[in-house]
Structure formats: structure tokens, C-alpha cells
A and B are shown apart, each in its own frame.
Chain A
Amino acid sequence: MSQQQELGRRLTSGNQAVAQAALHAGVKLGTGYPGTPSTEILEFFDSMGGPAQWAPNEKVALEVGIGAAFAGARALVTMKHVGLNVAADPLFTVAYTGVSGGLVIVSADDPGMASSQNEQDNRRFAVAAGLPMLEPADSQEAYDFTLRAFALSERWHVPVLLRMTTRVCHSATVLQTPGYCLSPAKPANFVRDVPGRVMIPAYARPAHKRLRAKLAELAVWNDSEGPNATVEGDKALGIITSGISFQHVREAAPSARVLKIGLTYPLPVETMRRFAASVERCLVVEEGDPFLYEAARTAGIAVENKPEMYRFGELNVERVGRIVAGDTSPEPAPTPGKPPELCPGCPHRNVFEVLHDLDCIVSGDIGCYTLGVLPPFSAMDTCVCMGASIGVGLGLRHTLPPEQARRVVSVIGDSTFVHSGITGLIEMVYNPPPTGHVLVILDNGTTAMTGLQEHPGTGRRLNHETTSKLSFEELARSLGIKNIHVIDPILDSAGIPRVLREALAKDELSLIIARRPCLLAAGAIKIREKTNVPK
């Protein structure tokens, strides 16, 4: 193993390859919010000695990354696909301001929704925000494209999106380093550029024109020297593809001529046009939305789209074979496996049992505890996005008849609360429903779903070192909430039903914090609390 590593050849996941590239690029700051399938990038980066930190959410992470890039440093910001929705506000305007140091934003998409609430195709974000996007197809490209992304970002002074997908993030493939060669990072140094970075309308109008000019140049560059490749093959069938789909295509249609696009925005349209003209039948094979297909058709290139049924879920070799054959017959249903469940002994279990028994209308949120929706608890009625439990619960309270409104409870995890529940809590105090409201924070002291990451409420940073600790009860008290209860759902199992009943009976605002460490994290938390003595 060690000899292989010395030779620079190793088996790594796409996430690990991105971290390795960030390290080799001299990234001064890696930041993000945990989210499957992106989480391990920053954890690997930290374990390799890179400066990595978790932000409260993706918007803050991107803002911190923008600051680092304004300072001229290289910054890496990581998140899952829906995280980019949260970060969209800074994203769309940093496209205008541009950057001094390289800024690479990883969007890890989850086609097929292995662990997500939707399967949005974030290639659309590249178009909407006007940012170049690279799409690696394996760990080697995850490494090379991360380095290329920094090179593009610094050449055109524009942030670059690196779009990964589940099967690129979490597949291990062979990585050979050194791969792509990137010039060394420059030291951080503040250079004032007021019209370039202060987006008042007068400065933003020319900034938008600058962005469009950069994208026009990038499109020309992509056609002439972009990271795209053609695999020679029989001209009877040509396939245009990108990312992981390329791998399935090579196996499902080994004799086809293939155009693999690495920079999928702005697209190498003339390359696509020439390729389509060189084959008898030109098919676009892509996971998710018909992104390449629509762009090709808009440019007047005659290409064939996959049948609509293959827009849903992941592609694989078998499905690509069916696309090539034009087969739209129903696909065999996969054998149903065992659904996931809350761990035996999980402290959330007691809370969901009570919510079920009291017939509450539960406005839920994103995390392990979303599993409270499944039997035997069947105790969740809504789950939309991170932090939505509070706002949605308030909307229900405001509009339902009082006897129903009094059954509404918002349930949110600790990490999710910090991510985007705090503004919901402020809304609860600012616009209290006539029947009041009950918020339950399931505080298990970790970001459990994504693999036990720290967050501001744990009082420890990404590398588990002690830092300032956010107190949910103090925060709520400072906002003016009077009914605050902190209960251990295991040690005081009778406390949860008692306090919940009381809270539901009042037309007031109540916060119940069910606090008990996650079983999977409890051992490590105990050790860290002993070894990390606060300064």
C-alpha cells in the first residue's frame, strides 16, 4: 500500500480526490455544511492537514468563501445540491463581482435521491447564475477538474461550480497523481476594488456585462481547448454525454462514438455541432434533466433525447442500454429492501411515540428524525426543506380552526435548527399564532444523518476542538419565549408527555428541548468533553 502511494497511485473516492486536489492547490480555507453525498470532502481535507471548517449553513459557508477569494486566497466551498438553494443569494451576485483568488463551489447532486428530498439538477444553476461548471466522471477527474476549476476561476476571475453526483462522490476509483498541473497559489492580500465588489445598481450593471463577456470567452475556450474528449467509434451511433453517464455509456454501447463534455457550462456548442454532424444518429445520454439536449436543440443541433421515463432516478448500464435501444417498456421494479429506521435506543423514539399518542399534527424537518414518519411512529405530517418545520408549523397554526391548530407541533433537530431554524424561531416570536405554538428541538448533540458532524450547538469545530457553544435555551429566552423546558427523553421519559400536554393546552409559545446525545456519537462526545478543556 505504502509503495503504491509513493508512486502516486491509489484507490480513492471522488470526495477524497477533491480534498486531495484542494490540498495540492494550496486552498487557504475549506468551508461548507454537511450534506450527503458531499460531507466527506471537508473531513478528508481536515484529516490531510487542510484548513477546514463547518459553517452554520451553506449561505454562510459561501459568504466566507467569497471573502477568502476577495482576499486573493484559494477557497473551496462544499455542499449537497439542495444546499446550493440556500447559498443561491450570494451565488448569483458573486457571479457579478467575480473573485481575485480561485473560488470553487462543489455541488454534490443526488439523482435517484439516495438521501435527499428532491433530485434537482444543479446544472440549471450554472445557467441561471452564469457560472462555469465542470462535471467529473470519476475520482481522477474529480482531482483534475478541481485543480482546473481553480485555474479557470483565477484566469477569468469568476467562481467555478464543480458538479459531483452520488456515484462520483462515493465511488472509489484509481487516482494517479500528479495529474493536472496548477500554478502555485498567491498569498492573500487586500486590493481595494469598490466598483468590482460593491453591488449597488450603478456598479452591478457593468458587472453583469463583464460576466456575460467572460462567459462568451469561456465558451470559445471550451470549444478550442476545454476538458472534453471524443472516443472514436462506429459512426452509426454518436452519444453526447457528461459525468457518470459517460461510464455507463462506454459499457452499454462500446462501439458508439462518444463526445464526453467536461465543462458543461458554457457548453462547447461548435464541438457538439461537429460531432453530431459526424454520426448518423446522435443521442444525448444524461442523468436528470434534458440539459445538454435542450442546449443542443436551441443551437439547432439535431440530437435525440432520452425517453422521459429515464429522467427519473439514476442511470446505470442497463438503463443506458434501454435508452440506446429506445426501449420504453416498463422497467422491472427493484426488490423492496428493508427501509431505514431510528436506531434501537435512539432518544428520538420516545418523543415520536408521544407525538403519535397525542395525535399531534407534526411539522417535521430534515435529519435522522425524518424517519419518525415511518411506522411504528407515523408521527410526521410535513417535511419540505431544512428549517421548514417552524415556518410551516406556524402557517398551519395561523390558518387551521383552533381545535386543529392546537395540535400542531414543529419538530427540528439541533443541527437543522442552527442551519435555518433560528429565523423561524424569530418569526414565531414576531408573528405568534393566536393559539401559540410548540417547538420541539431534538438535540442529540451532533449532525447525525450525515455521519456525526459538529455544529455551533456542540461547542466543537469540524476538527472537534472546543469553541464557543450556542445555547438554544438562552437564545430562545433572549427572544422572549417564556415556556422553555429541557428534558432528557431517556432519563425522564415521563417528562416529554407531561410537558408536551401542558404546552399544547396553553395558547402560548413553548420550546421543548429533548436533549440526549445520539447513541452513535455518545462515546466520542464523552471523550472529547474530557480531553477538550475549555480555555
Chain B
Amino acid sequence: MSPSDMSNNITNVVIAGLGGQGVLKASDILASAVFLAGFDVKKSEIHGMSQRGGSVSSDVRFGKKVFSPMVPPGKADCLVVLSQSQIEVARPMLKAGGALIEPGMIDEARLSNKKSLNVALLGALARHLDLADNLWHAAIQAALPEKLHAANLQAFAIGKGT
């Protein structure tokens, strides 16, 4: 979508996966990047029991003014799924013609740290959102300890194909 679309409408992104995969961390990074870009943003997620290996998802919505923090079913512009097994579980969130971003798009062998699949998928998501790379980089660095910066910036670049 173009910048003008993004400033006039709400963009809905759902990130889904299993507890422990970094779903919440990925949504933190996305929300932080769009916040840095100056948008109104809301991010919603569930903590607690589901984080023990169950299905987990997090919603990020941004635009000029966001009300509800939750993406309505079938309204996600982009759906990022971290686990192959969760694609069908999460698919009803995606709108017709929306972008599905899934692990098959990433060559995991190229990741220097396997745990940065979540950030690699954000790289793939970045191709659908008009946000400057430096905002993504700042958000990644703000969300992770310094020793993980290099591996995650690499993962982001692999996902984005840059």
C-alpha cells in the first residue's frame, strides 16, 4: 500500500504462531517501527496460559486514528504466521486479497540465529508496508539486547530480500 493509503486508513497486521516463538516480540518491533513513523498505533495481545506452547497471536493496527486495539476477523491486510501449523488457524483473520507471510518464504538455513525467524518474517512483511528501513532497524535494536542486534538485522535483511 502507498503512503497515502497508510495515512488515511487503518492498516491491520496480525502476527500468529505458538507460545515461545517470539510472536509478541515481533509485534513489539512492528508497533514500535510504525510509532516512530508518526502513526497512531495500537497493539493487542494475550498473555498467560496460551504462552505455554499454545496458539498465540498479536494484533497491530495503525493509521491516523485507531480505536479498537483488536483486528476484526477477516480484516487483516497482512497476516504473519511464524509456524506452518498455525496458518490455517490464523487464516480467517486475513482479508480477501491480503498478504500472507509465512515461514516457507524464508530460507532458514541462512539465518545466523534460528530464533530470529520472527524478525526475518518482519523483513518479509516490510515489503508490504511503506516504512523506512532505519525505523525498522531502530525498533529492532530497541526491542532486543545488543548481542542479538547483528543476527536480527541480518534476519530482517534476508526477509526483506535486501
Structural contact, A1 and B142, CB atoms closer than 8 A: yes
- Listed by A's residue number, 25 A-B pairs whose Cβ atoms lie within 8 Å are A4-B36, A11-B31, A11-B32, A11-B41, A39-B47, A114-B46, A114-B49, A115-B48, A138-B42, A138-B69, A170-B47, A172-B28, A172-B41, A172-B44, A174-B41, A316-B72, A335-B88, A337-B50, A337-B55, A338-B55, A338-B85, A339-B55, A342-B52, A371-B49, A450-B48
Q: Is A340 an interface residue (CB 8 A)?
A: yes
A1-34 near B? 1/0 per residue, CB < 8 Å: 1001000001100000000000000000000000
Structural contact, B47 and A37, CB atoms closer than 8 A: yes
CB contact list, A293-344 vs B, under 8 A: 316-318, 332, 334-343
A349 to chain B, nearest CB (A): 12
Q: A340 with B70: in contact, given A172-B31, A172-B43 (CB under 8 Å)?
A: no
Known: A173-B66, A338-B89; 10 extra A-B contacts, CB below 8 A, are A1-B142, A114-B50, A167-B69, A172-B43, A244-B69, A318-B72, A334-B92, A338-B85, A340-B50, A371-B49
Q: Is B104 an interface residue (CB 8 A)?
A: no
Q: A247 with B67: in contact, given A171-B44, A338-B86 (CB under 8 Å)?
A: yes
Structural contact, B54 and A337, CB atoms closer than 8 A: yes
CB contact list, A270-303 vs B, under 8 A: none
Structural contact, A115 and B55, CB atoms closer than 8 A: no
Structural contact, A171 and B32, CB atoms closer than 8 A: no
Name B46's contact: one of A170, A247, A316, A370 (CB within 8 Å).
Answer: A170
A342 to chain B, nearest CB (A): 7
Q: A340 with B51: in contact, given A171-B42, A172-B42 (CB under 8 Å)?
A: yes
B70 to chain A, nearest CB (A): 5
Most buried by A among B28, B67, B91, B92: B67
Structural contact, B46 and A174, CB atoms closer than 8 A: no
A451–B70 Cα distance when bound, in Å, is 23
CB contact list, B17-74 vs A, under 8 A: 18-19, 28, 31-32, 35-36, 40-55, 66-70, 72-73
Taking CB atoms, residues of chain B closer than 8 Å to A172 are 28, 31, 41-44
A336 to chain B, nearest CB (A): 7
Structural contact, B42 and A317, CB atoms closer than 8 A: no
Taking CB atoms, residues of chain A closer than 8 Å to B132 are none
Taking CB atoms, residues of chain B closer than 8 Å to A173 are 41-43, 66, 69
Taking CB atoms, residues of chain A closer than 8 Å to B72 are 316-318
Chain A positions within 8 Å of B, measured between CB atoms, are 1, 4, 10-11, 36-37, 39, 114-115, 138, 166-167, 170-174, 244, 247-248, 250-251, 316-318, 332, 334-343, 368, 370-371, 449-451
Taking CB atoms, residues of chain A closer than 8 Å to B28 are 172
Structural contact, A115 and B42, CB atoms closer than 8 A: no
Q: Report the number of A-B residue pairs with Cβ-Cβ less than 8 Å.
A: 120
CB contact list, B115-157 vs A, under 8 A: 138, 142
Structural contact, A338 and B18, CB atoms closer than 8 A: yes
Taking CB atoms, residues of chain B closer than 8 Å to A39 are 47
A332–B93 Cα distance when bound, in Å, is 13
Instruction: Please count how many residues in chain B sit with their CB below 8 Å of the partner chain's CB atoms.
Output: 39
A4–B72 Cα distance when bound, in Å, is 30
A452 to chain B, nearest CB (A): 11
| Chain A residue at minimum C-beta to C-beta distance from B43 | A172
Taking CB atoms, residues of chain B closer than 8 Å to A343 are 52-53
| Chain B residue at minimum C-beta to C-beta distance from A316 | B70
Structural contact, B70 and A36, CB atoms closer than 8 A: no
A119 to chain B, nearest CB (A): 14
A339–B55 Cα distance when bound, in Å, is 7
A334–B92 Cα distance when bound, in Å, is 9
Structural contact, A340 and B49, CB atoms closer than 8 A: yes
Name B35's contact: one of A174, A317, A368, A371 (CB within 8 Å).
Answer: A174
Structural contact, A114 and B68, CB atoms closer than 8 A: no
Name A170's contact: one of B31, B44, B53 (CB within 8 Å).
Answer: B44
A1–B45 Cα distance when bound, in Å, is 22
Taking CB atoms, residues of chain A closer than 8 Å to B67 are 247-248, 250-251
A127–B67 Cα distance when bound, in Å, is 29
| Chain B residue at minimum C-beta to C-beta distance from A9 | B35
A323 to chain B, nearest CB (A): 14
A449–B48 Cα distance when bound, in Å, is 6
A190 to chain B, nearest CB (A): 39
Taking CB atoms, residues of chain B closer than 8 Å to A370 are 49
A114–B68 Cα distance when bound, in Å, is 18
A368–B52 Cα distance when bound, in Å, is 8
| Chain B residue at minimum C-beta to C-beta distance from A254 | B67
Taking CB atoms, residues of chain B closer than 8 Å to A167 are 44, 69-70
Structural contact, B36 and A1, CB atoms closer than 8 A: yes
Structural contact, A337 and B89, CB atoms closer than 8 A: yes
Taking CB atoms, residues of chain A closer than 8 Å to B73 are 318, 332
A350 to chain B, nearest CB (A): 17
A451–B51 Cα distance when bound, in Å, is 10
Taking CB atoms, residues of chain A closer than 8 Å to B142 are 1
A338–B88 Cα distance when bound, in Å, is 11
B35 to chain A, nearest CB (A): 4
Lowest 9 A-B CB distances belong to which pairs? A115-B48, A337-B55, A340-B54, A36-B48, A171-B69, A340-B52, A250-B67, A172-B43, A171-B44
B19 to chain A, nearest CB (A): 6
Q: A371 with B52: in contact, given A1-B32, A37-B47, A172-B42 (CB under 8 Å)?
A: yes
Taking CB atoms, residues of chain A closer than 8 Å to B66 are 173
A338–B41 Cα distance when bound, in Å, is 28
Taking CB atoms, residues of chain A closer than 8 Å to B89 are 335-338
B74-114 near A? 1/0 per residue, CB < 8 Å: 00000000000110111110000000000000000000000
